[in-house]
Amino acid sequence: MRAAPALALVMLAALLLVLVHDAPHQTFQQQPLPKIAPAPEFSLTSQDGGQVTLADFRGKVVAVTFIYTLCTTTCPVLTPMMSFVQDQLGSNFGTKIAFVSITVDPERDTPQVLKEYAQAFDANLAGWAFLTGTPDAIRDVTRRYGVFASKTANGDVDHTFLTSIVDPRGILRVQYVGVRFDPDELRRDLLSLLQEP
């Protein structure tokens, strides 16, 4: 009589092994990112003093962020995080994927200051542009991307922390709000847009 429960357990285990082995293999399929709208164009000055437009990046996936070099709150978190993602992208960075960091403090963030900031964070300038412009141009681009920026009495700039992803056709696909987005999710989203037809 004792053999019956043991035999039942062996048969149950064998059945489970067959079911698990014959189960269809499921793979993770990432949903395509939504298409929000054409990304707002801009024409600004790079860390090297040249004019840069969003159209210059057509054919590449672009991550657009807003920073300023004297920021002591969110920017020192964002820029190293972006630098980490830059390194994780390997040979796709610069050739197929680019980063654009636009200052919200154009009075102090000259091209030379932005270049020094980029170097301090090991930004690969072959694929990462740090941009400035006139106060009016910066106000316009921040407004059109949905970023709030306002100078405080002590000269700091309160600003919305926003990262926008633009596809190779210039379409805004996703916006991350805040510094707590997952760098691996950002990397996956950037790479997923390279796979689209």
How far is residue 158's CA from residue 54's CA, in Å, rounded to a whole number?
A: 25
Q: Where are the domains positioned within the chain?
A: 32-194
C-alpha to C-alpha distances, 24 to 11, 21, 104, nearest whole angstrom: 22, 8, 52
Closest CA to 57 of 19, 28, 95, 92: 95
The SS3 assignment for 19 reads helix
pLDDT in tens, the chain (197 residues): 444 443 333 333 333 333 333 333 333 456 889 999 999 999 999 999 999 999 999 999 999 999 888 887 777 788 889 999 999 999 999 999 999 999 999 999 999 999 999 999 999 999 999 999 999 999 999 999 988 887 888 878 877 788 999 999 999 999 988 766 788 999 999 999 999 88
CATH number of 32-194: 3.40.30.10
Please give the model's pTM, rounded to 2 decimal places. Answer: 0.81
